[in-house]
Structure 1
Amino acid sequence: MTYVKPAELVSTIIDAGAAKVMLSARDTIIRSILGGALLTLAAAFAVTVTVNTGMPLLGALLFPVGFIMLYLLGYDLLTGVFVLAPLAWLDKRPGVTIGGILRNWGLVFVGNLIGAITVAVLMAIVVTFGFSDAPNAVGEAIGHIGEGRTVGYAEHGFAGMLTLFVRAVLCNWMVSTGVVLACVSKDVIGKIIAMWMPIMLFFYMGFEHSIVNMFLFPSGLMLGGDFTIMDYLVWNEIPTVVGNLVGGLVFTAIPLYLTYARGSSRRTPAPAAADVAPATAPAA
């Protein structure tokens, strides 16, 4: 069978988490830059499809190609290591410490940011013809996304911040599920189908993904979006990172660990009456 059962699957992702924490800084940065770049290029692709066809569902159906490519190549996303690294620590893997986890998260964040901003600049060149024209329809759409997901939240005050946070939690519940499902099959087709489902769901539902936003908002600023860097940080990126962390830990990492890696002992059934030896009668 190509299907990997949950108990074996959890052992595999714990191994992956330990390997991520122990990876060199150079390799972590390189893999994170490329991971961020591939994911955000797919986000630009999905926006382009949506604008050109007027069908948001089609854009969501096609967006997972970026996620699938980067995980098949072993690249890293912050939303993924939010789950993998803590699992290795919970399992007490040698050399995996809180400091090592924080180092891994910091390096992946920086790498993803570099990759996302690189794609943002390249796409801004594409949609403005080398900054010589006004943004085309795709560029205008990206700019408006940035406005709606910063100023739009700010207009609602606390309720807006709560909505942003919950969307970030739900996002990484789905994205981290996709990371786990990348190991649920031993063949490429099985991996692709398994990863596709939760990633399509999060994108179409409009949930908040910190790495996708590292592309959308710098792009929006370059393409004339009516918001500021501070709007982006306070009313999107920082709460989104925190929500992604909570979603990955609470809904994916901890439940999987508790029920499969550290599951409670099986209850032993009571012996049947026929299996119980009769007591010996006392001697007269």
Structure 2
Amino acid sequence: MSESSSILSPAQMARAAEDAAFAKATGRPMKSFLLGLTAGGYIALGFIFFVTSQVGAAELPWGVAKVLGGVVFATGLALVVLTGAELFTSSTLTLTARASGRITWGQLLLNWLVVYVANFLGALTMVALVFLGGTWHNAEGGWGAVVLSTASYKLDHTFLEAFVLGILCNLMVCLAIWAAYSGRTTTDKVMAVTMPIALFVASGFEHSVANMFMIPLGILIKGSAGGEFWSQTGLDQAAFADLTWVNFFVDNLLPVTLGNIVGGGVMIGVLYWTIFHFLDTPKDGAKGAPAAKS
């Protein structure tokens, strides 16, 4: 097997992840913004696929239905990886380049801000398209009912629960991204991301960018659906009174975002930087490895 087709070793994956983080943080903000728009849209597409898979899934065993939803949701991250889109949750890995001193805190925070805002706008674009396209009317309102129940459930967590679920989520997302660096083919990369993403979705962990799509869509449906929708689905509009913008930002997006930073940036990025960079640095007096070209 030629070197170009072999997978990367764990140490090489760590270097590839740090180099990618450096490139993101030092690239043009407009490029990051446009790639962030696409990432927000792709993750929303993954959630659209998830919702479709859950319509009528109540007939399946709970775990089977959730695993099915998780596997199809992985389509979103596969598209992000294959197209080079910039996703805030994986951009938390830029902490590796900061730990190495290759970027400043200003560069890191600017990249996070640009990508986060772009992801939100990309997700909201998909919200508008799905809503205006009437997708939520599918299955006699069953599609919209899944959105409402999923969005409402996400607002039931305490601040601490949402924070911890955000940690667990981005632990898996960044593991998926990290593993994808080892692949050299499309198949390698898709296989690397699918199971970790299926795990986080099936287990009910919280992803800030995915929630930028699901909860706003739920808020929009709750406020706009007419009497026919509520009668078709058998749902009570009053049961979704918690679906408000204030609750979304305060009770979900804030703690989940903070948890995502800890789970991905610290528990994956900084951990593997420590193992494969800091601890691999030669002791004083020994000749160090050549610095990476930038």
TM-score, with structure 1 as normaliser: 0.85
Larger radius of gyration: 1
- The SS at the match of 1:223 is helix
Partner of 2:248: 232
Matched-pair contact (CA < 8 Å) for 1:89–1:97: yes
Shift of 1:164: 1.2
- Which residue among 251, 263, 283 is the counterpart of 2:279? 263
Counterparts in 2 of 1:92 and 1:48: CA distance versus 1, 3 Å? same
Partner of 1:105: 112
CA RMSD of superposed structures (Å):
2.0
- Which residue among 86, 89, 93 is the counterpart of 2:98? 89
Q: Structure 1 vs Structure 2: percent identity of aligned residues?
A: 29
- Unaligned regions of 5+ residues in structure 2, if any? 59-64, 223-239, 284-294
Shift of 1:112: 0.1
**Any idea what the Cα deviations from partners look like across 1:149-174, whole Å, max 9, x if unmatched?**
21x22xxxxxx222111111000000
- The SS at the match of 1:63 is helix
**Any idea what the Cα deviations from partners look like across 1:137-196, whole Å, max 9, x if unmatched?**
11121112222221x22xxxxxx2221111110000001111111211112211111111
Shift of 1:121: 1.3
For residues 56 and 248 of structure 2, the distance between their equivalents in structure 1, rounded to whole angstroms, comes to 27
Partner of 1:61: 71
- The SS at the match of 2:86 is coil
Partner of 2:217: 219
For residues 113 and 232 of structure 1, the distance between their equivalents in structure 2, rounded to whole angstroms, comes to 13
1:142 aligns with 2:147: yes
Q: Residue 146 of structure 2 aligns to which amino acid in structure 1? A: A
Counterparts in 2 of 1:127 and 1:33: CA distance versus 1, 3 Å? same
Partner of 2:229: none
**Any idea what the Cα deviations from partners look like across 1:77-125, whole Å, max 9, x if unmatched?**
1001111x111111122xx110000000000011100000011111122
- Which residue among 190, 193, 211 is the counterpart of 1:192? 190
Counterparts in 2 of 1:6 and 1:51: CA distance versus 1, 3 Å? same
Matched-pair contact (CA < 8 Å) for 1:127–1:138: no
1:39-188 superposed matches below 5 A: 39-54=43-58, 55-83=65-93, 85-93=94-102, 96-127=103-134, 136-150=141-155, 152-153=156-157, 160-188=158-186
For residues 197 and 22 of structure 2, the distance between their equivalents in structure 1, rounded to whole angstroms, comes to 24
For residues 100 and 51 of structure 2, the distance between their equivalents in structure 1, rounded to whole angstroms, comes to 40
Counterparts in 2 of 1:18 and 1:264: CA distance versus 1, 3 Å? closer
TM-score, with structure 2 as normaliser: 0.82
For residues 41 and 258 of structure 2, the distance between their equivalents in structure 1, rounded to whole angstroms, comes to 21
Shift of 1:23: 1.3
Partner of 2:236: none
Shift of 1:249: 2.5
For residues 248 and 147 of structure 1, the distance between their equivalents in structure 2, rounded to whole angstroms, comes to 25
Shift of 1:126: 3.2
Shift of 1:56: 2.7
For residues 9 and 128 of structure 1, the distance between their equivalents in structure 2, rounded to whole angstroms, comes to 40
For residues 267 and 28 of structure 2, the distance between their equivalents in structure 1, rounded to whole angstroms, comes to 29
Matched-pair contact (CA < 8 Å) for 2:67–2:199: no
For residues 149 and 19 of structure 2, the distance between their equivalents in structure 1, rounded to whole angstroms, comes to 41
- Unaligned regions of 5+ residues in structure 1, if any? 154-159, 268-284
Counterparts in 2 of 1:260 and 1:221: CA distance versus 1, 3 Å? same
Q: Residue 53 of structure 2 aligns to which amino acid in structure 1? A: V
Q: Residue 86 of structure 1 aligns to which amino acid in structure 2? A: L
Shift of 1:128: 5.8
Partner of 1:32: 36
Q: Residue 14 of structure 1 aligns to which amino acid in structure 2? A: E
Shift of 1:19: 0.3
**Any idea what the Cα deviations from partners look like across 1:208-231, whole Å, max 9, x if unmatched?**
000000001110111104321111
Partner of 2:291: none
- Which residue among 195, 201, 204 is the counterpart of 2:202? 204
For residues 127 and 217 of structure 1, the distance between their equivalents in structure 2, rounded to whole angstroms, comes to 17
Counterparts in 2 of 1:135 and 1:116: CA distance versus 1, 3 Å? farther
The number of residue pairs the alignment matches comes to 255
Shift of 1:264: 4.9
